[in-house]
Amino acid sequence: MRITSALIDPALLDLPWGVPLEEWPADHLVALPQGISRHIVRFVKLNETVYALKETRERIAEKEYDLLRALERIDFPAVEAVATVTDRHDANGEPLETILITRHLQFSLPYRALFSHVLRPETLNRLLDALVALIVRMHLTGFSWGDCSLSNTLFRRDAGAFAAYLVDAETGNLYPKLSEGQRSEDIEIARLNIFGECLDLQAAELLHESIDPEMVVDDIVARYERLWHEVTYEQKVARPAARHDIERRIRRLNELGFDVAEVDMSTVDEGYRVRPKVVDAGYHTRRLLRLTGLDAEENQARQLLNDLDTYRAESDLTDEQQAAHRWLTEVFEPVVRAVPAGMRRKLEPQEIFTQVIQHKWLMSEKAGRDVGMAAAVQSYLADVLSRKPDEQAILGVEVSSLAGGL
């Protein structure tokens, strides 16, 4: 037996590698939901860590291991490759297939498992948004999946939203850039696979009667094309209105259900070319904390980072850390300091700043131009924050409604 791994759990060495995976005793296994697979797949739990084991040919296992490691290096949402186990033989000396070991994504389920239950329309929308965001991000990375399906995609709840993860990469290929033909072929494969799985679930009476398989796949393709256009087309904005136009672009993406990690900018005559980058939910809290030290909820963090990225683009700063420091000292902190001491108990600083951003947006929309932060802050303090009672801001309800409950 030969194990290839960057960092192996010693407990893996004690597993019955000389037995075909299909015949492993139950005391080594844990039962977890899984999608359809052409290979034998089993889950084992060792030292509180769950691993997924897939039996396949050596060449396929090594290719998938290398691909998953490559995706991990570029921070792509996929399961983590742990090891490959080759040169296996049974008690009679007969060769056994190679096993690929991946780390099971905690608190995740296959998309197929969700489609097998009743889904509310808003839940289905969020699931499809997460799936489409994964495919778009994958294609932007230059990765061609070749086998996108409900079974090969995991979802995980993250800050009130869903994040999608790739779980099977054996048919995938990583290129510097995908051609239009490669991208279109990948989407057509996804359409056929998902349509087939929905029909399979429908035939087994596991698909909710309100879900139409054809409408689902058409919706996925439409969402994909819409998002792909939003993230890939380069928008030219003029310098005087750059900040407001960039905010409008980001808000349009947010309204489609997608978050923006950063904004790529390039200067042209009298303006910029703008291309936002989308990410999965849960990213923004971590990025904001890393860059600024501010700890915020996910939606707050997203809006703060949108403002930071717009500031960075306007300031022509290439260094992200430098831009974050200047934004914190020149934009965020002055807004917080502008709040009178008597009003600071009404809302947390992060929430005040996000509400100021929203207030500024509404004022700018009404005026047809960027009104500037100073005017927005003064208007917000006088017309909005001054009217908020402390108790309502903290508890989220009127004090009178708590009578008898305190």
Estimate the crossing angle of helix 298-315 against helix 349-367, to 10 degrees: 60
Residue where a domain terminates, one of 230, 246, 279: 230
Residues 73 and 219 in one domain: no
Cα gap 73→110, rounded to integer Å: 23
Residues 134 and 246 in one domain: no
Estimate the crossing angle of helix 242-255 against helix 213-232, to 10 degrees: 170
Cα gap 187→190, rounded to integer Å: 5
Residues 249 and 274 in one domain: yes
Asked, for residue 264, whether it belongs to a domain, the answer is yes
Question: Mean of the pLDDT values across residues 283-292?
Answer: 78
Q: Which residue has the tokens 């951003």?
A: 357
What's the Cα-to-Cα distance from 85 to each of 80, 209, 222, rounded to whole Å?
16, 43, 41
For residue 335, what pLDDT is reported? 93
φ, ψ (nearest 5 deg) of residue 197: -70, -40
Task: Give every strand in the sheet of 98-103, ordered side by side.
Answer: 2-4, 80-86, 98-103, 49-56, 40-46
Q: How confident is the model at residue 121 (pLDDT cuts 50, 70, 90)?
A: low
3-state secondary structure of 144: strand
Residue where a domain terminates, one of 62, 82, 103: 103
Identity of residue 186? D
Asked, for residue 402, whether it belongs to a domain, the answer is no
Token representation of residue 340: 């009178």
For residue 314, what pLDDT is reported? 83
For residue 379, what pLDDT is reported? 94
Residues 381 and 241 in one domain: yes
Q: What is the pLDDT of residues 147-161, one digit of tens each?
A: 888 888 887 764 345
Instruction: Give the total number of structural domains in the chain.
Output: 3
| C-alpha dihedral sign at 114, 115, 116, 121 | positive
Residues 125 and 211 in one domain: yes
Q: What share of the chain is helix, strand, coil (3-state, %, to 5)?
A: 50, 20, 30
Q: 191, 213 in Cβ contact below 8 A? A: no
Which H/E stretch holds residue 336? helix 333-338
Asked, for residue 406, whether it belongs to a domain, the answer is no
Residues 63 and 136 in one domain: no
Q: What is the pLDDT of residues 54-88, one digit of tens each?
A: 999 999 999 999 999 999 888 788 899 999 999 99
pLDDT for 287 beyond 50: yes
Cα gap 319→324, rounded to integer Å: 9
Cα gap 329→72, rounded to integer Å: 34
Looking at residue 26, which CATH number applies to its domain? 3.30.200.20
φ, ψ (nearest 5 deg) of residue 184: -65, -40
Kindly report which listed range (5-19, 32-46, 156-170) carries the lowest average pLDDT score. Answer: 156-170
Q: Can you name the residues that pair with 54 across neighbouring β-strands?
A: 41, 100
Most confidently predicted of 25-39, 150-164, 353-367: 353-367
Q: Can you name the residues that pair with 42 across neighbouring β-strands?
A: 53
| DSSP symbol at 349 | H
Residues 250 and 280 in one domain: yes
Q: Which residue has the tokens 């950063």?
A: 262
Question: Mean of the pLDDT values across residues 248-276?
Answer: 70
Asked, for residue 92, whether it belongs to a domain, the answer is yes
Looking at residue 131, which CATH number applies to its domain? 1.10.510.10
| Nearest Cα to Cα of residue 130 among 147, 108, 146 | 108
Residue where a domain terminates, one of 179, 198, 230: 230
Asked, for residue 403, whether it belongs to a domain, the answer is no
Q: How confident is the model at residue 393 (pLDDT cuts 50, 70, 90)?
A: very low
Residues 170 and 285 in one domain: no
| Nearest Cα to Cα of residue 146 among 196, 182, 110, 102 | 182
Residues 237 and 205 in one domain: no
Question: Mean of the pLDDT values across residues 382-406?
Answer: 53
The domain in which residue 15 lies consists of: 2-103
Asked, for residue 225, whether it belongs to a domain, the answer is yes
Residues 328 and 363 in one domain: yes
Asked, for residue 38, whether it belongs to a domain, the answer is yes
Kindly report which listed range (95-109, 159-173, 265-279) carries the lowest average pLDDT score. Answer: 265-279
Asked, for residue 307, whether it belongs to a domain, the answer is yes
Instruction: Please list, residue by residue across 256-265, b when 16 or more beta carbons sit within 10 angstroms of its beta carbon and e when fewer do.
Output: ebbbbbbbeb
**Between 47 and 394, whose confidence is greater?**
47
Kindly report which listed range (98-102, 103-107, 322-326) carries the lowest average pLDDT score. Answer: 103-107
Residues 99 and 113 in one domain: no
Residues 66 and 166 in one domain: no
